[in-house]
Chain A
Amino acid sequence: MSGGVKAHSRWLPWHALAVFAFLYLPIVTLIVYSFNGEGVGGFPPRHLTLQWYRILFADDAIWAAVFNSLQVALAAMVISLALGIPAALALDRANFPGKGLFRRLVLLPLILPGIITGLSLLMLFREANLKLSLATIILGHGTALISVATTEIFAGLQKLDRAQEEASLDLGATYWQTFWNITIPNLKLPIIGAALLIFTLSMDEIAVSFFLIGRDNTLPLEIWGRLRRGITPEINAISTIIFVFSLIAIVVWYRLRMRAQGKAEIAAELLETN
């Protein structure tokens, strides 16, 4: 290796450090000012307090919105998995007319600005005379997030060994039995990964919900309503709490994956030595 590689790597770590600082500056600010007695803004932060958390815990509207969002996220997760799993299987193993169009259409909400999907669904519900409510948001999230379920599970299917399913069918199991006893357990990790991702994306979704909202707010829309009225440190507090929960979810997911990977590596070693 010549000296040039060093020259390369001399400024690269500093660039990386600067990008990380840029990515984390708002998050750190958010958390620090959730404990600031003077409210949001003003440097340096002073009079550390838990006052904003106390106000937050007494705020019924926010907790109602949190509860609504949890309901929406769970229901959307069920819908998008129930359709995303067969969609991924269909893309992997079936040939049908319009397959290319179907694949593009399913993935479109992932890349299309949320406003277009939200408006289009709003027109559908209007034409169908459906009243806007949490149910319409669930339909919206469920539909938009099939894209996530499909990509995650399709990637899992690509790595899957079909021999097990073939053996199961050869030994006389029905398709239904094979699906539940072989295919789904083999896809456990991608399904859990997709479920976690769909859940968090739904909890955070605002562009589609913005147009499909009825009387009950989801958490992002409740926060949005408050932001229009002005800055309040309660928003820092609730965001900090949600961030902590997200971090826990990431660690749990990471552990699950590592454990599965570890098992696979052990299995590979055993096979080699035999």
Chain B
Amino acid sequence: MFSRAYRAAITVPPLLWVAVFLLVPYALLLCYSFWSVSSFQTIVHSWNWENYRELFRVDAYWQTLLRSMWIAARVMFFSLLLGYPLAYYLSFYAGRRKELLYQMVIIPLWVSYLVRAYAWKTILGSDGVLNTLLQYVHLTQHPLDFLLYSPFAVVLTLTHIYTPFAFLPIYASLEHIPRNLVEASQDLGASPLQTFWRVVFPLSIPGVVAGATFAFVLSLGDFLAPLLLGGPSGIMISNIVVSLFGAAYNWPLGAAISFCMLLLVLALLFLSENLEKKWSFR
């Protein structure tokens, strides 16, 4: 029913824009990663593998990447641990309050990411809210100093930020489960625990995979929470990239690290897409 001119009008402008402002930049990232910096701090357009060799030679780079993945994995785990039972409760037990509670999970997303990270800083600091509270009720005599400027603070803050992201797809998949399946399982004599593990949970796996991917990928690339709350032991891979693009001025090396991150993320997205397909019910 739609003419060729109509289809061209809706297709060409977004295609062109996306080519110029997304495809070309991502391709440039790849190009830069093969270039180098001269001693006069200019970018030399000579193609070589030096940046990638450097990545494997210098321990700090791949160790930081591993640490970032370990932090992201913990954030993913805790987000699911908090998000899944919450989604299950809302979907199956909340009754009339469901819509209100759902909105209450969303509302924190409207508070700036930066501001929430900052709020955790004011809570965890040595003269912060938590430490002064603990001393006020005489639980501790001295401020606990492992709270702030540690991987713990980064994991806590990122878990706080990404729990709603993990919650949303899980909740959506739980809502899509036909309720008569649950009733059938109970009528056939399954205990509630059996019903959960044999019926509800397998059907919610696509949501879990999507939520886990969100939490892992987004926290893997974060650089603001580590800068604000991480201290030296909480440095993540993106912090190295930021410094290479700033004071250290080595764009090509920074581009090489970023491109590795991009590949890692694309691989994870591919994996999760296939897992979701495999587990979505036919």
Chain A contact residues, CB within 8 Å of chain B: 1-2, 4-5, 7-9, 12-13, 15-16, 19-20, 22-27, 29-30, 33, 40-44, 83-84, 86-87, 89-90, 93-94, 96, 102, 105-106, 108-109, 111-117, 119-124, 127, 139, 143, 146, 162, 165-166, 169, 175, 200, 203-204, 206-207, 210-211, 220, 223-224, 227, 231, 235, 239, 242-243, 246-247, 249-250, 254
Given contacts A120-B29, A220-B114, contact A90 B258 (CB under 8 A): no
Complex CA–CA separation, A235 to B106 (angstroms): 22
Q: Known: A27-B119, A43-B133, A105-B23. Is A89-B10 also a contact (CB below 8 A)?
A: yes
* Interface locus among B47-55, B57-65, B190-198: B190-198
Contacts A109-B22, A119-B245, A250-B110 given; does A23 touch B217 at CB 8 Å: no
CB distance from B255 to the nearest CB of A (A): 7
Least Cβ–Cβ distance between A139 and chain B, in angstroms: 7
> B113, A108: Cβ atoms under 8 Å?
no
Indicate if the CB atoms of B113 and A116 lie closer than 8 Å.
no
B2 within 8 A of A: yes
Known: A4-B192, A12-B88. A123 touches B28 (CB 8 A): yes
The distance from the CB of A193 to the nearest CB of chain B, in whole angstroms, is 13
Cβ-defined contact, A111 with B222, below 8 A: no
Contact between B113 and A111, CB atoms less than 8 A apart: no
Chain A residues, Cβ within 8 Å of B118: 30, 223, 227, 231, 235
What mask results when residues 1 to 41 of chain B are scored 1 for a CB within 8 Å of chain A, else 0? Answer: 11101110111011101100111111011001000000000
Q: Is B44 an interface residue (CB 8 A)?
A: no
Given contact pairs A2-B191, A4-B192, a sample of 11 additional A-B residue pairs in the complex whose CB atoms are under 8 Å apart: A12-B85, A25-B123, A27-B111, A89-B10, A105-B18, A114-B221, A117-B25, A124-B21, A204-B113, A227-B118, A235-B118
Task: Please report the C-alpha to C-alpha distance between residue A14 and residue B28 in the assembled complex, in whole angstroms.
Answer: 50
**Which of B3, B28, B119 is A30 in contact with, Cβ under 8 Å?**
B119
In the complex, B201 has a CB within 8 A of chain A = no
Q: Within 8 Å of chain A (Cβ to Cβ): is B121?
A: yes
CB–CB A200/B110 < 8 A: yes
Distance in angstroms between the alpha carbons of A5 and B88 in the assembled complex = 13
> Are B110 and A90 closer than 8 Å at their CB atoms?
no
In the assembled complex, how far is the CB of residue A182 from the closest CB belonging to chain B, in whole angstroms? 13
State whether A143 touches B21 (Cβ < 8 A): yes
State whether the Cβ of B160 lies closer than 8 Å to any Cβ in chain A. Answer: yes
The reply to whether A111 and B111 form a contact with Cβ atoms under 8 Å apart is no
Within the assembled complex, what's the spacing in Å between the Cα atoms of A27 and B112?
10
28 contacts between A and B (CB under 8 A): A4-B192, A7-B192, A16-B89, A22-B82, A23-B108, A26-B119, A29-B123, A30-B111, A41-B125, A41-B129, A86-B10, A111-B214, A111-B218, A113-B220, A113-B221, A115-B223, A116-B262, A117-B25, A120-B29, A120-B258, A139-B21, A146-B14, A146-B18, A211-B245, A220-B114, A235-B118, A239-B111, A242-B111
* Dominant secondary structure of chain B at its interface with chain A: helix
Cα separation A8 to B195 with both chains bound (whole Å): 12
Q: Which residues of B contact A7 (CB under 8 A)?
A: 192
Residues B11 and A96 in contact, CB atoms below 8 Å apart: yes
Interfacial chain A residues near B2, Cβ < 8 Å: 93-94, 175
Question: Nearest chain-B residue to A95 (Cβ)?
Answer: B7
0/1 string, B244-258, CB within 8 A of A gives 1? 010000010011001
Q: Which residues of B contact A20 (CB under 8 A)?
A: 104
Nearest CB in chain B to that of A150: its residue: B14
Partner of A175, one of B5, B101, B107: B5
Q: State the Cβ distance, B16 to closest chain A Cβ, in Å.
A: 9
Bound-complex Cα distance A109 to B119 (A): 27
Within the assembled complex, what's the spacing in Å between the Cα atoms of A242 and B228? 21
Determine whether the beta carbon of B14 is less than 8 Å from that of A113: no
Q: A111-B217, A112-B265 are in contact. Are A24 and B108 (CB under 8 A)?
A: yes
- Residues on the A chain within 8 Å of B5, using CB: 175
Q: How far is the CA of A44 from the CA of B121 in the complex (A)?
A: 17
Counting chain A CB atoms within 10 Å of each CB, which of B11, B93, B213 scores highest? B11
- Chain A residues with CB under 8 A of B255: 119, 123
CB B228 to nearest CB in A, in angstroms, measures 6
The answer for the CA separation of A41 and B10 in the assembled complex, in Å, is: 54
Chain A residue contacts of B24, Cβ below 8 A: 124
Q: Could you tell me the distance between the alpha carbons of A42 and B160 in the complex, rounded to whole angstroms?
A: 22
Please, how many angstroms separate the alpha-carbon atoms of A220 and B18 in the complex? 26
